[in-house]
Amino acid sequence: GERQSFDLIARARQFSSFLLVVGTMAGPDKLDPKDAIIVQNKDELLIPLILDEIPTAKEFKDAIQSLSPEQQRFAQAFRSMQLGSSVMGISVIQIKPQLETLLGLPDDALTKEMKLTQDLMELFVEYQVPSDLLSYDGIEVNASPKEKVENVREHVKAVSDVIDEAKTKQLKEQTRRADMAHEASIANHQRVMVFDRSPDVRGGGTPRVMASSPSTFSYEAAMDSASPAPPHARRLAKMSSPAPEAMIAMSCAAPSPQMSMMADSAPTSTPVLQSNRPSSSASTLPQQHVPTSVKLSEKGDVDFTTVPQILNCAIEEHSGGAALRSTTVKLADDWRRNRLENLLSKPKETLLHAAREIKTERNKAYDLLDALSRSGSLPIACSELHVIVSVTHCFEKDVIETVIQDNVNPVEKLELSTLLVGAAIHGVPAHRLIRDDSELLRLKGSFPVLLSDKANEE
């Protein structure tokens, strides 16, 4: 049938924010991050998931039995890597509680400080300001939470003033350079057009370019005394140009061009004005350090990286009744995000591409994570880790054909798959997952090997 699509959806409330880190589990207490993003202020993030099924253990053995021993070992190692990548880890790191720990503030000190929290995130993400410049440095041991917050606020204001002053200074410098370049371009590339009508051409003349003052241009007509001057020649007079736009700019490096004029009653065409403006200089983005892994402080009781191997052995043992396939989960290249530009606007959907927007968002998230953890020296206490182990129950035929042609009950197949997955994840015998004694008795008749007394003792 048609394959169902799945999305990873993350939402944040107004004036709240968290870091979303997605990767694969590399150990019982280690997450290997692949992507990260900051979700804040009513953002809604939709990440499509790509599911790839791995052949069952029986299908894998049948496929490699004709290979050489070296090729079989390579295929088994590759399958182990596939099974390891089928365990997805999703870490949610709360930003505000971690900021309080980083800055030396008591718990819940930033709960009502929305603007201060936003300013702190901007300084950490956009400007990579060290946390030592913003943390509490008071000498009073018994200072109240309000006094500590005010101390941090003063530090934030001082750093922000320095940044604003640097921006203003750089803006003035760039404006001064642009003005100087524009004036130099006008002085070097602008000339005055002087038209001299030669006496050997009746009613016309050969114009030539003559150097003059850059602020004026003149037309001169030297006519033969016996030849009457045409009407348009008598109207030409020396004129001054009040603005650079009224000048005719000529290149100094090029030779003086020869211009032709029509001696008829048609009006003279207006010259095209061109201006050469200096191109803006390209800015260089600072290279950002990307951490390689996120270490969690609290170790789980279950090593989820071994779950695919346990499932693989259980499926192989009960292959006569199970149709389970381990499934790898990957993130798609294009994400969607609904974001409010301001409080009065409606949410706007934006498509995030892996090569541009997702890479930029990932670098911002890693910069903030590096600042919140002091480059890994400060543990992340306010975080959650969600582990996803994906398996797919496959039916080669639809429900009617499975029941009639194969004489198989698909409901019992799903019950067997549920028991296998539950026993592997919780690490308990399958019979302990069934509360009702009547259901246990019924399932024993369907799955005697799985729910036998010997299997329960093991």
Mean pLDDT to the nearest integer, 225-248: 40
Q: How many residues does the chain have?
A: 458
Pair 360, 337: CB distance under 8 Å: no
- 56 neighbors 311 (Cβ within 8 angstroms): no
Q: Residue 255's pLDDT is what?
A: 38
Contacts of 231 (CB under 8 A, 6+ apart): none
The band of 10, judged by pLDDT with boundaries at 50, 70 and 90, is very high
**Per-residue confidence (pLDDT) for residue 322, from 0 to 100:** 57
Residue scoring higher pLDDT (117 or 192): 117
Choose among 429, 458, 431, 425: nearest CA to 302.
425
CB-CB contact of 276 with 185 (8 Å): yes
Average pLDDT over residues 113-137: 92
**Averaged over 417-441, what is the pLDDT?**
88
Residue 227 pLDDT = 44
pLDDT band at 210 (very low <50, low <70, confident <90, very high): very low
CB neighbours (10 Å) of residue 337? 20
pLDDT score of 229 more than 50: no
409, pLDDT greater than 60: yes
Residue 234: pLDDT over 90: no
Percent of the chain with pLDDT over 70: 72
Specify the DSSP element, H or E, that contains 175. helix 145-189
Reduced to 3 states (helix: H, G, I; strand: E, B; else coil), residue 52 is strand
Cα three-residue angle 306-448-450, rounded to 5 degrees? 5
Task: Give the C-alpha separation, 339 to 346, whole Å.
Answer: 8
CB-based contacts of 332: which residues, under 8 Å, 6+ apart? Answer: 47, 48, 49, 50
Bridging pattern class, strands 219-220 and 195-196: parallel
Query: Which of 205-209, 374-378, 408-412, 453-457 ranks highest by mean pLDDT?
Result: 374-378
d(Cα 119, Cα 134) in Å, to the nearest integer? 11
* Mean of all residue pLDDT scores within the chain: 77
Distance CA(58)–CA(79), nearest Å, equals 13
Residue 458: pLDDT above 90? no
Lowest-pLDDT range, 40-44, 47-51, 211-215, 255-259? 255-259
The answer to which of 148-162, 168-182, 304-318 has the lowest mean pLDDT is 304-318
- Burial class, 121, CB count within 10 angstroms (exposed 0-12 / middle 13-18 / buried 19+): buried
Given pLDDT bands bounded at 50, 70 and 90, which one contains residue 134? Answer: very high
Return the pLDDT at 135.
93
Look at residue 226 in the predicted model and tell me its pLDDT: 42
47 contacts: CB under 8 Å, gap ≥ 6: 7, 8, 9, 10, 22, 331, 332, 335
| pLDDT the model gives residue 182 | 86
Residues 283-317 pLDDT 10s: 333 333 433 333 333 454 568 888 888 888 888 78
> Which of 44-48, 127-131, 388-392 is the most confident on average?
44-48
pLDDT in tens, 239-248: 344 443 333 3
Q: Strands, E, within 132-181: which ranges? A: none
Q: What is the mean pLDDT of residues 224-237?
A: 42
pLDDT at site 264: 38
Q: Round to the nearest angstrom and report the end-to-end CA distance of the chain.
A: 39
> How far is the C-alpha of 17 from the C-alpha of 13, rounded, in Å?
8
Chain-centroid distance of CA 282 in Å reads 21
Q: Which of 187-196, 347-356, 425-434 has the highest mean pLDDT?
A: 347-356
Q: Which of 93, 105, 97, 115 is nearest to 15 (CA)?
A: 115
Q: What percent of the chain has pLDDT over 90?
A: 39
8 A C-beta contact, residue 10 and residue 45: yes
The answer to whether 347 and 340 are in contact (CB under 8 A) is: yes
**What does the pLDDT read at residue 243?**
40
pLDDT grade, residue 335 (50/70/90)?
Answer: very high
State the pLDDT at residue 452.
76
How far, in Å, CA of 314 to CA of 420, rounded? 7
Say yes or no to pLDDT of 230 above 70.
Answer: no
Interhelix angle 69-84/57-64, nearest 10 degrees? 150
